[in-house]
Amino acid sequence: MRIPSYIGEVTCTSVDPGTLPPHILAMRVLPSDMNEMWALEIDVESRRGGAGH
């Protein structure tokens, strides 16, 4: 898997789903290298649960 050189390590420190849980659209597990490392990709859609008209 290729990652652009300007993207370093990304660490998620907290998640606030609001009043509605996030909707997972897709999940993929991909082998990253030959040393049994794997990459997990998750496509998520979040609706904050606000009032709409």
pLDDT tens for each residue of 5-46: 787 777 778 877 677 777 889 998 877 766 777 888 888 887
The 10 Å CB-count burial string (b at 16+, else e) for 13-44 is: eeeeeeeeeeeeeeeeeeeeeeeeeeeeeeee
| Torsion sign, CA atoms 21, 23, 29, 32 | negative
Q: Which amino acid makes up residue 16?
A: D
Greater model confidence, 4 or 45: 45
- Report the largest interatomic distance among the alpha carbons of the chain, rounded to a whole angstrom: 52
| Model confidence, pTM | 0.42
Could you give the CA distance from residue 52 to residue 34 in angstroms, rounded to a whole number?
A: 49
